Structure 1
Amino acid sequence: MSKISKKVAGLTLAGAVAISSLALAPKKEEVEAQDKKKQPTNVIMMVMDGTSSTATTLSRWYKGGNLAMDQMMAGGVRTYSAESAITDSAPAGTALATGHKSDDKYIGILPSVVTSPGLEQVSEKDAQRPVANVLEGAKQQGKATGLIATSEIQHATPADFSAHTTHRSNYGDIAEQQVYQNIDVVLGGGKESLSPGTGKNARKDGEDLLQQLERKKYDFVENRDELLNTKSNKIWGSFAPGALAYDMDRATTKPSEPTLADMTGKAIDTLKKDKDGFFLFVEGSKPDWAAHANDPVGMISDVLAFDAAVKKAVDFAKKDGNTMVIAVADHGNSGLSIGSQNTNSTYPHTPVSAYIDPLKKAKMTVEGALSQLKPDKSNLKEVAALYGLDDLTAEEERKLMESKNLGLEMAHMLANRANLGITSTGHTGEDVFLYSYGPERLFGLVENTDLPKKMAKFMGFDLGQLTNKLYANAKEGFEKKGYTTRIDTTDANNPVFVAEKGNQKVELPANKNIVKVSGVANELTGINVYNGKDFYVSESVFKLVK
């Protein structure tokens, strides 16, 4: 898109939003306050994963009032990846965190394949090179940093803001990098990936990261009360082996877990103590999971939970006066529509209640309701009723009893009752809404890669320069100094870059911020990343050796 057409598109969308949402716009004095920038600067970046605009609209109708996000409406975001019109969460998060489009499954690295129109090709040499993210930039500025998700904290989007790997499923590498990044506040699920064990995502490298967190003097908390009561400035909260519960289900299934708003409020209260300011990333992870499951109740549950967290952020930003808040979806999911084949001829006079009342009957999401199902399905009718499917017909009951995917069958049944259309159990490629508040806020139709560049500029650094500082090619750097180099993969789970010259031996273990020079360990300003072919290290390494 040319600069002129992009500008026109942005003005058109922003203008439409302004005209249709005057009642939701910030007051004049709030807008004026947003234009003033002073030091220190704070940024709160918030992502509701896999949330199409229809899910937001449906959530507003369900709530019966405005969302906190409504007052921040600023435009739209294009979400395509380097190789596809429909993005996976990993490259979407990479774009939002680093300013670079990337490929399917890639976390915080440059793409190998670039086919989307208008994008520059990446050289073979630079393919899969780590690129710095805004959280790392904030750290380099001396700011406090935080990372929050309702999924495993190692899941794709929080990983994009804290790690670099060639595949989003590399939870072991991601968890290790996150620990050695020295992030001040980390809250979410994913405890399983911190220690060795027998679980799917348990550590394979033998390292117990819980011991490392203790050495790093984190207060490790595992429930809501512990989180809210800690006074520590370094908090690591692991509230589940995997993901946290849906907000609607929590009271029944996981009452000890904090809400997303709880975690966001606590993180802000902790990070704001830093005199240099802070950067906080917050993800409402499970609207995406609900969309994959075609569960409109789950989508609503966690869109509203996300919106409550947004209110925490904006309330702080209004008082602080120098905090940039951005809220956005990383991509769409499911093709949800308000209206279906049921309403082809009746939509002009079908009331809101025809869409909302059937959903209001649900007391739990599909996931929550199925957690109550007995192995023999003897309580199937009661479980269906928990999900709002009361008064089952004989045909509906037969379908549920015979279904090989009971959750999806229940979700489609409720969607049909609520006159909702759903086209996919996968992601979708439409533009998503942009919400922003605070100084230098973004407006109009923008690329997802524009957001981190704006955040970086507001915090006072350049992402390209930061990449060169944090992720230099180790082989090239050491060989220029006359070293011989090799990658020691004797232990496949713990690769080490080794450089030798005379009596001096330099060792750089993957995923850590550590270098050993002739056996003496030193901490680095960044982590060591191995992408399977090359090691990338902080340029500060080269200042430690002759």
Structure 2
Amino acid sequence: MKKFFKSKKASIISLLLILCLVFSTLVFASQDSNKQSNKVKNVILMIPDGMTIAHTTLARWYQGGEPLSMDEIACGLVRTYSANNPITDSAPAATAYATGYKTQNRYLSIYPEIASMPGVGQVEEKDFFKPIVTILEAAKKFGKSTGLVVTCQFPHATPAAFAAHTDNRNDYESIAEQMVYNQVDVVLGGGWKYIDKNQRKDKEDLVQYLRDNGFVVTTKWEDLKNESPRKVWGLFAQDAMHYEFDRNGTDKPSLAEMTQKALQILSKNKNGFFLMVEGSEIDWASHANDPVGVVSEVLAFDKAVKVALDFAKSRDDTAVIIAPDHNNGGMTLGNYSAQVDSVLLNDFLKYIKKAKRTGSGIEDLLGNNRTDENIKKIVSQYYGVDNLTQDEIDAIKKAPAGRLNYVLGPIISKRSYIGWTTNEHTGEDVVLYAYHPNGYVPHGVIDNTEVCDYIADILGIDLGSFNENSYISNVDLEEKGYNVTIDTSNPNNIQLVISSKGKTYIVPQNKNAVIEGNKQYTLKYVSAYITSAKRFFVSSEIEEILK
């Protein structure tokens, strides 16, 4: 009996162990299955530059209170501070979205030298200024197609952060060259002059380089309307494109049309794609305190959101993330003149609804004819304002070229009870929006770096592995015993010169090339010369070439 009891007890224990093992297997299998179901093939990241809740509220009222396309997927808030400041500029804000790391103001996708904000880790001194591989660059190495769609000039801060590395966000020519050599598959927006050899200081023929590498390069939307080449750069303005309200009647595409075309092209890749779409000029209208420009660009962006969401909802492999990079202007619906119950909805909208052009569009219409009578005529015809003061007329006369919206914006704002606190960025959190086919989206308050972490997670990309030993500097090469100099004799074409085993290797800045005599090698990543640090960074596999 005792023996039987022991045997029975052992059997029960064995059975329990088996049940636990089966249960654990099922749990882990379920977890693995859920984890796998969170993966997507395509990600569309949309950045409404400088957009705040006040912006979306005004745009919603402008269209009669109807919801915006993005409203249904609002899910949280994003903290926007940079590595060294509670108020970020667009370069480090976009860097956080592109790399998952904070950097300091004016820097694009390089590690910061200064990390003074709470919770921001300081990198080792040897890594100061080192380029950080972006989610776009990693997606490309992962076999995915990549795209950038903007209304600004393409080397501007936000798009640049995804395909370039520099300590100077305003060095458009170097940034443009890096972006070209990064071979982003689809680039649509403005900025032709930055690839045109006749307008570049270094006379580099970047147009020909793209064409030699299989890209269609055009300035005409007509060339793309009915065509879908696999790789294309369509740049439809010398510099930035027009605001949406000012684009009407032109042959230039809208942000929504460019987004549609990019999706049509990128979705041909069976491995999927990463696409960044920026509503670039929401930010610019906010800098000018121009509520007409704000409405113009928020609604144009929201139409692009609809295109993206329609695409994503028509399939089960695409996520859409919408995240402003920062606030701008301190815009409010209500100013010091507005009292509760004293201002009706029409008081906010009557002049904005009458507006047919933004402040920039009015400047184009006025041209050099800034007489009192012409100013009153144009402002009345396109804004419905018939009571300009003499001070306002004089201010319009004196507005510098390209800055008339900074005068007209406040004129309309004052009459519309819209307040502004600044012409610059502000530091509050921004609204996060996200769509995932299986509902796997971030919630609550997250850091801007976590947006990139989320994108990498759902794409199944280990972004950290791409950054392990990705770049090596001239200092590192010297410590390894190579004879290294930085040739700055031509400031428009700085080169790293390396001597090894009787051979001389030339590494031009902003390219992914190494030249040794008649031989040319292609590197994984573009090289970058960091001017403020006088350090040259090159893709680390150069060491295999030097051996």
TM-score (ref. length: structure 2): 0.88
Partner of 1:313: 308
**CA apart distance, 1:36:** 7.2
> Is this contact kept in 2: 1:362–1:385, CA < 8 A?
no
Matches of residues 473-492 of structure 1 in structure 2 within 5 Å?
473-477=473-477, 480=480, 482-492=481-491
Q: Deviations over 1:64-121 (max 9, x none)?
A: 2111100110111111111111111111111111111111211111112222122222
Alignment pair present for 1:269 and 2:251: no
**CA apart distance, 1:423:** 1.2
Q: Deviations over 1:138-188 (max 9, x none)?
A: 011010000111000000110001100110111111110011001110111
Please list every run of 5 or more consecutive structure 1 residues that lacks an aligned counterpart in the other structure. Answer: 1-33
- 1:343 counterpart letter in structure 2: A
Partner of 2:457: 457
Alignment pair present for 1:371 and 2:364: yes
**CA apart distance, 1:501:** 2.0
> Is this contact kept in 1: 2:38–2:458, CA < 8 A?
no
- 1:188 counterpart letter in structure 2: G
> Is this contact kept in 1: 2:39–2:458, CA < 8 A?
no
Q: For the structure 1 residues 519 and 474, does the alpha-carbon distance in structure 2 shift closer, same or farther, using more than 3 Å as the test? A: farther
- Give, in whole Å, the separation in 2 of the partners of 1:483 and 1:342: 69
Q: Secondary structure at the match of 1:146?
A: strand
Partner of 2:523: 524
Q: For the structure 1 residues 386 and 370, does the alpha-carbon distance in structure 2 shift closer, same or farther, using more than 3 Å as the test? A: farther
Matches of residues 36-55 of structure 1 in structure 2 within 5 Å?
37=37, 41-55=41-55
Matches of residues 187-202 of structure 1 in structure 2 within 5 Å?
187-197=188-198, 202=199
Please list every run of 5 or more consecutive structure 2 residues that lacks an aligned counterpart in the other structure. Answer: 1-33
Partner of 1:505: 504
**CA apart distance, 1:268:** 0.6
Between the two proteins, what is the percent identity of the paired residues? Answer: 41
- 2:468 counterpart letter in structure 1: N
Partner of 1:9: none
- Give, in whole Å, the separation in 1 of the partners of 2:336 and 2:76: 30
Partner of 1:248: 245
Alignment pair present for 1:353 and 2:350: no
- 2:535 counterpart letter in structure 1: D
- Give, in whole Å, the separation in 2 of the partners of 1:448 and 1:354: 36
Q: Deviations over 1:394-413 (max 9, x none)?
A: 54665546654653332212
Q: Secondary structure at the match of 2:244?
A: coil
What RMSD over aligned residues (CA atoms) do the two structures have, in Å? 2.0
Partner of 1:86: 87
**CA apart distance, 1:314:** 0.9
Q: Secondary structure at the match of 2:271?
A: coil
Q: For the structure 1 residues 147 and 87, does the alpha-carbon distance in structure 2 shift closer, same or farther, using more than 3 Å as the test? A: same
Alignment pair present for 1:428 and 2:426: yes
> Is this contact kept in 2: 1:40–1:275, CA < 8 A?
no
- Give, in whole Å, the separation in 1 of the partners of 2:219 and 2:174: 22
- 1:148 counterpart letter in structure 2: V
Q: Secondary structure at the match of 2:320?
A: strand
> Is this contact kept in 2: 1:365–1:387, CA < 8 A?
no
> Is this contact kept in 1: 2:195–2:206, CA < 8 A?
yes
Q: Secondary structure at the match of 1:408?
A: helix
Q: For the structure 1 residues 246 and 36, does the alpha-carbon distance in structure 2 shift closer, same or farther, using more than 3 Å as the test? A: farther
Q: For the structure 1 residues 184 and 385, does the alpha-carbon distance in structure 2 shift closer, same or farther, using more than 3 Å as the test? A: same
> Is this contact kept in 2: 1:223–1:258, CA < 8 A?
no
Q: Deviations over 1:313-340 (max 9, x none)?
A: 1111111212121111111111110011
Alignment pair present for 1:237 and 2:234: yes
| Structure having the higher Rg | 2
Answer with 48-57 or 483-492: which moved more: 483-492
Q: Secondary structure at the match of 1:348?
A: coil
Q: For the structure 1 residues 491 and 278, does the alpha-carbon distance in structure 2 shift closer, same or farther, using more than 3 Å as the test? A: same
Q: For the structure 1 residues 212 and 543, does the alpha-carbon distance in structure 2 shift closer, same or farther, using more than 3 Å as the test? A: same
Alignment pair present for 1:95 and 2:96: yes
TM-score (ref. length: structure 1): 0.88
- Give, in whole Å, the separation in 2 of the partners of 1:426 and 1:393: 26
> Is this contact kept in 2: 1:219–1:230, CA < 8 A?
no
Partner of 2:164: 163
> Is this contact kept in 2: 1:82–1:102, CA < 8 A?
yes
- 2:428 counterpart letter in structure 1: E
- Give, in whole Å, the separation in 1 of the partners of 2:253 and 2:35: 34
Alignment pair present for 1:292 and 2:287: yes
Matches of residues 118-197 of structure 1 in structure 2 within 5 Å?
118-197=119-198
Partner of 2:442: 442
